[in-house]
Structures are given as structure tokens and as C-alpha cells.
């Protein structure tokens, strides 16, 4: 049968999507357990999420939450750090810890037949880490060395400088790794104290996803984590303070971290924008998809496909419980720096009303967010991490099922309204990490005055 190439073939109705059932259970010690049966491959994933992350590092202690997380797999009981890695390898486990702004999340995936061994190892690490001085000393030094190396990595320099500009002294204003100064001052006692205060069953959610029934998953969780002792009644449990703090009220500015001879300029253009719990969240996601959240977006098509200034440009929200930054990110050819900034600013402004999304743009943005949605939940780990997000942001179990209709319901007017409300050209911070001596003159054409010259963050 010959193919009709005069038009694209029609696409059928979307397959129906249902998120698997999430079974709730709370252990007597207060640990919340979420169990989801997931039978494609005989593996099991544990995601243990504890409230509090780098966003609740106290002033002067930036980097502490990440240090605590790093110390967790440095030994437990009679096991040294090396023994821990060996025990993980013997059950073929993948272990990972992520320190976010609002939570610290441990993930362990192993073969289903090693479920109990994996769970009990994770429980020992998290609840009873050895916290030896010699390990602390080594781990802290490795982090200091890493910080030193980040000074040469343009995207890391840009990220650190941008966060500091938009958040000022606020605890969200640093990367989890902290700073050279604060890391040097932190002591093992600080780590022990934060672990005691933060690593409490009542501050945690354990998501277990794997190839067995939810009841079996909950039993495994109970066997491993049931003996985790809660702090004595009345003991102080901290889960972070970043959410409610005040934020600086910035006005538009241009700043540069000079990087002599750089082949490209690393750009960050944005400002603090919205919280994850905003009711405008679906509208903002659709808006971002039109603007710069996917390959076929205004910013990428302009800067990459039309102008050839960059390998790729994108925009996005870095969602936090508190006020989250929105930014455009791109690494552009040095000679095109000023032009790329102008094009970017024009796009950020246009979507606020002067060039609302066309019908096609709106349809495409929604489709790209919703029609392929089921593929986000293919593996046990994807499912477990998704459910942990529900716990982090206090979202209902029905969230994933409701996302598709909510995103599809966003109208053109709502999108423009959200853009107008949450994107403000008069408050944009424009940060460049690039070769100042070769682009300085061209930056004058932006008519923002001389850029503020910043040192490489340390």
C-alpha cells in the first residue's frame, strides 16, 4: 500500500492514563510510608525524603545539609565507608542522595529479591551513620576541592552568581555545596547536631515501589524502619525556615563575571517569580513550554534555529516551596552576546501580551506536556520519585490524574495573564559569565549602563 505523503497521518485518541494506586501507611514511629505496586521488571526502589534541604542551612552554615547527606553513607555500625559501598554493590544496588532546597532525598534501587537487604541497609545508613571525624575531614576537604574546581566551570559560576543576585542573603541563595568560607568553619559537631534534629521519622516520607503487592512493600518498610527511634517528646525537630522568609525586591540590572578568553558567554536572565503551590502552576508550565521549555519554543527557535547563536537556549522555573526563580539559560557565542540578550528580552516581554501565543503554539505546548505524560512513569524509580514530590509539596494523590485536564484547560488569556503577572521585564537580572574585554562595548547597546562587575563566587 503506497503511503499518502500529501499530509501527515492522523494521530488517534490519546491512550487513557491512570496513575497506579498509592497505598498509605504510617509506622508507629511516625514515618509516613507510601507503597505502589509496579511489576514491569523485578526491581524495587526506596525513596526516603526528609523535610529540609540546603534552603534551611543557617546563615554562616551554608553547605551543612549537603555535608550531612554526604556523611550518611560513610559508614554505619561496624561498616566503614568502603564496606558500605561494597554492601551496596553486592546487591547490585544503585544509591543516590539529592539535596534540594526544601528536602533531602535518598534513593536506593535493587533487585526485588534483595528487597529486605536493601531496605535495612538504607535504614542503617540514614538512622545510624557512624559520623567519624576522619571521614568528616576527608568529605569536607573533597567538597572544598570541588568548590575550587567549580570556579572554572562557566555554568556553575553563572548559577552561583545568579542565585546570590536574586536571593541576596536568603538561604535559597546558595547551592547545596555552600561556600569555601562556611565549609571551612563547619565541624563534625554541626553535622551530628543537624542529623539529630532533622533525621526524624516524623519528618520523613518513605516511598516504596516494586514488583510486589503494596501490602508486602509496606511490610518490608516496617521491618527495616520500624525500629527507628523518634526523638523524645518535645525535642526540637527542624524542617527548615526558608519558605516564610522575606525576599529582596530587586530592580533590573546587568552584571558580569569576567572570564577572559571565553569562547562563549554563559547567560542567566530572570528573577524570583512564583511558589510551587501557586494555583497558576499549570498556566505557568504551559506558558513556559511556549516560551522556552522545549525544543520547539520561541527562545530556542530564535536563538538556535534562526540565529545559530547557541547550541540550545531554554527557560524554566526552579521550583521551591518558597519563591522560586524563573530564568532563561543559554551559552552563546561570545561575538553574539549582546544580540542574544536583546532577542531574549524581546521574547520574555512579548509573551506578556504584545505577542500572545498563537492557537498552534498553545496546542503544541499543551500537547507536549500532556500527550506523552504516561512515559514519565515507566520505571519503579520514576514512579517513586513522583510520589515523593507529592509529599514534598503537599499535593493530593489525585494530582497526576488531574494534571492532564488541568493543563489542557489553560486558555490563551490565562497564559498571558500568568506571564504578565509572573514575568516582569523591569525586575530582570541579566548575568553574563564571559569575556568582558571583548563584549564590553557591545553591552552598551543594551542601554542598561555599565554592568556590575562581580568576582567569581568562592
Partner 1 sequence: MTPIELPYSKRTLENGLDVIVHEDHHVPVVAVNLWYHVGSKNERPGRTGFAHLFEHLMFEGSEHHNSGYFPPLQQAGALLNGSTNTDRTNYWEVVPTSAVDLALWMESDRMGYLLPALTRERFETQRDVVLNERRQNYENRPYGFALMALLAALYPPDHPYHWMTIGAAEDIRAMQFEDVRDFFRSYYHPSNASLVLAGDIDTGRAFDLATQYFGDIPGGVKPPRVSAEASIGRERRLLLEDRVELPRLYIGWHSPAMFADGDAELDLAGDLLANGKTSRLYRSLVYDQRLAVDVSGYQSSRELGGFFLLVATAAPGRSLSEIAAEIDKAIQALVEDGPSPAEMERAEAQAEAHFLYRLQTVGGFGGKSDQLNAYNVMRGNPGYFAQDLARYQSATAETVRATARRWLRYDARVVLSLVPRGQQVLALPGSESVSVT
Sites for partner 1 among residues 333-392 (CB under 8 A)? 333, 363-364, 367-368, 370-375, 377-380
What is the spatial distance between Cα 348 and Cα 341, in angstroms, rounded to a whole number? 10
- Our CB check for partner 1 shows the closer of 72 and 242 to be 72
Output 102 or 435, the one with its CB closest to partner 1: 435
Task: Provide Rg for the chain, Cα atoms.
Answer: 24
- Contact, 171 vs 57, CB < 8 A? yes
Q: How far is the CB of 383 from partner 1 (least distance, A)?
A: 11
Of 255, 266, 203, the residue nearest 230 (C-alpha): 203
Q: At its nearest, how many Å lie between partner 1 and the CB of residue 199?
A: 22
CB neighbour burial string for 41-79, b if at least 16 within 10 angstroms, e if fewer: eebbbbbbbbbbbbbbbeeebbbbbbbbbbbbbbbbeeb
State in angstroms the smallest separation of the CB of 277 from partner 1. Answer: 27
| Percent composition of the chain: helix, strand, coil (DSSP 3-state, to 5) | 45, 20, 35
**Of 419, 298, 295, 287, nearest in space to 366 by CA:** 287
How far apart are alpha carbons 398 and 404 in whole angstroms? 11
401 touching partner 1, by CB under 8 A: no
The residues in 295-314 that bind partner 1, with binding defined as CB under 8 A, are 295-296, 301, 304-311
Does the footprint of partner 1 cover residue 455 (CB under 8 A)?
A: no
**Grid cell at residue 232:** 523524645
End-to-end alpha-carbon separation of the chain, Å? Answer: 65
20 scored as a contact of partner 1 (CB under 8 A): no
Closest separation in Å from C-beta 218 to partner 1: 23
Contact 322, 299 (CB under 8 A): no
Residue 3 or 441 with smaller CB distance to partner 1: 3
| Min dist. Cβ of residue 76 to partner 1 (A) | 14
184 binding partner 1? (CB under 8 A)? no
Other beta carbons within 10 Å of 368: 17
273 membership: H or E segment, kind and range = strand 264-274
For partner 1, which is the closer residue by CB, 8 or 232? 8
Q: Which stretch binds partner 1 (CB under 8 A): 228-236, 240-248, 260-268, 423-431?
A: 260-268
Query: In what helix (H) or strand (E) does residue 50 lie, and over which residues does it extend?
Result: strand 43-51
Task: Check residue 238 for interaction with partner 1 (CB under 8 A).
Answer: no
- CB of residue 309 to partner 1, shortest distance in Å: 7
Q: What gap in Å lies between CA 287 and CA 293, rounded to an integer?
A: 9
CB 118 within 8 A of CB 396: no
Question: Binding partner 1 by CB under 8 A: which of 28, 40, 441, 447?
Answer: 40
8 is an interface residue for partner 1 by CB under 8 A: yes
Question: Are the CB atoms for 52 and 240 separated by under 8 Å?
Answer: yes
Is there binding between residue 405 and partner 1 (CB under 8 A)? no
Q: Does 6 bind partner 1 (CB under 8 A)?
A: yes
DSSP string for residues in 147-202: HHHHTT-HHHHHHHHHHHHHHTTSGGGS-TT--HHHHHH--HHHHHHHHHHH--GG
3-state secondary structure of 268: strand
How many residues sit close enough to partner 1 to count as binding (CB under 8 A)? 81
Is position 90 an interface residue for partner 1 (rule: CB under 8 A)?
yes
Name the residue nearer to partner 1 (CB basis): 272 or 433.
Answer: 433
Contact set for partner 1, span 113-152 (CB under 8 A): 113, 138, 141-142, 145-146, 148-149, 151-152
Nearer to partner 1, 67 or 272 (CB): 67
17 near partner 1, judged by CB under 8 A: yes
Binding segment (CB under 8 A) for partner 1, from list 103-111, 125-133, 165-173, 349-357: 103-111
Nearer to partner 1, 59 or 149 (CB): 149
Closer residue to partner 1 (CB): 68 or 79: 79
Nearer to partner 1, 105 or 331 (CB): 331
- Give the range of 3-11, 54-62, 201-209, 321-329 binding partner 1 by CB under 8 A: 3-11
Q: Answer yes or no whether residue 425 interacts with partner 1 by CB under 8 A.
A: no
Amino acid at each position: 500500500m503506497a503511503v499518502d505523503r500529501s499530509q501527515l497521518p492522523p494521530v488517534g485518541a490519546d491512550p487513557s492514563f491512570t496513575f497506579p494506586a498509592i497505598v498509605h501507611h504510617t509506622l508507629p514511629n511516625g514515618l509516613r510510608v507510601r507503597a505502589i505496586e509496579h511489576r514491569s521488571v523485578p526491581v524495587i526502589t526506596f525513596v526516603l525524603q526528609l523535610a529540609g534541604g540546603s534552603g534551611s542551612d543557617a546563615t554562616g552554615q551554608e553547605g551543612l545539609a549537603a555535608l550531612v547527606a554526604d556523611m550518611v553513607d560513610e559508614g554505619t555500625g561496624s561498616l566503614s565507608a568502603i564496606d558500605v559501598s561494597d554492601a551496596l554493590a553486592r546487591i547490585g544496588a544503585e544509591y543516590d542522595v539529592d539535596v534540594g532546597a526544601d528536602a533531602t532525598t535518598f534513593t536506593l534501587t535493587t533487585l526485588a529479591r534483595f528487597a529486605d537487604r536493601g531496605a535495612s541497609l538504607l535504614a542503617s545508613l540514614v538512622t545510624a551513620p557512624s559520623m567519624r571525624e576522619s571521614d568528616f575531614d576527608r568529605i569536607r576537604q573533597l567538597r572544598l576541592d570541588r568548590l575550587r574546581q567549580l570556579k572554572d566551570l562557566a555554568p556553575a559560576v553563572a548559577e552561583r552568581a545568579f542565585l546570590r543576585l536574586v536571593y541576596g542573603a536568603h538561604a535559597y541563595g546558595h547551592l547545596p555545596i555552600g561556600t569555601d568560607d562556611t565549609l571551612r568553619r563547619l565541624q563534625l559537631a554541626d553535622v551530628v547536631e543537624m542529623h539529630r534534629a532533622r533525621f526524624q521519622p516524623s519528618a520523613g516520607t518513605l516511598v516504596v515501589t516494586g514488583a510486589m503487592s503494596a501490602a508486602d512493600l509496606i511490610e518490608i518498610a516496617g521491618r527495616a524502619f520500624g525500629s527507628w527511634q523518634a526523638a523524645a517528646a518535645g525535642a526540637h525537630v527542624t524542617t527548615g525556615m526558608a519558605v516564610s522568609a522575606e525576599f529582596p525586591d530587586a530592580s533590573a540590572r546587568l552584571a558580569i563575571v569576567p572570564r577572559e578568553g571565553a569562547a562563549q558567554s554563559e547567560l542567566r536572565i530572570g528573577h524570583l517569580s512564583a511558589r510551587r503551590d501557586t494555583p497558576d502552576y499549570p498556566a505557568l508550565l504551559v506558558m513556559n513550554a511556549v516560551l522556552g521549555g522545549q525544543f520547539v519554543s520561541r527562545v530556542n527557535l530564535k536563538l538556535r534555529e534562526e540565529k545559530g547563536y547557541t547550541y540550545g537556549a531554554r527557560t524554566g522555573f526552579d521550583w521551591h516551596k518558597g519563591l522560586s526563580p524563573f530564568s532563561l539559560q543559554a551559552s552563546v557565542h561570545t561575538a553574539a552576546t549582546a544580540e542574544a540578550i536583546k532577542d531574549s528580552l524581546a521574547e520574555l516581554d512579548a509573551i506578556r501580551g504584545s505577542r500572545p501565543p498563537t492557537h498552534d503554539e498553545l496546542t503544541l505546548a499543551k500537547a507536549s506536556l500532556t500527550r506523552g505524560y504516561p512515559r514519565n512513569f515507566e520505571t519503579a524509580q520514576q514512579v517513586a520519585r513522583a510520589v515523593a514530590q507529592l509529599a514534598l509539596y503537599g499535593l493530593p494523590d489525585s494530582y497526576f490524574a488531574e494534571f492532564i485536564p488541568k493543563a489542557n484547560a489553560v486558555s490563551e488569556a490565562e497564559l498571558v495573564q500568568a506571564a504578565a503577572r509572573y514575568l516582569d521585564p523591569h525586575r530582570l537580572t541579566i548575568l553574563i559569565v564571559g569575556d568582558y574585554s571583548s563584549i564590553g562595548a557591545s553591552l552598551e547597546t543594551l542601554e542598561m549602563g555599565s554592568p556590575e562587575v562581580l568576582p567569581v563566587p568562592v
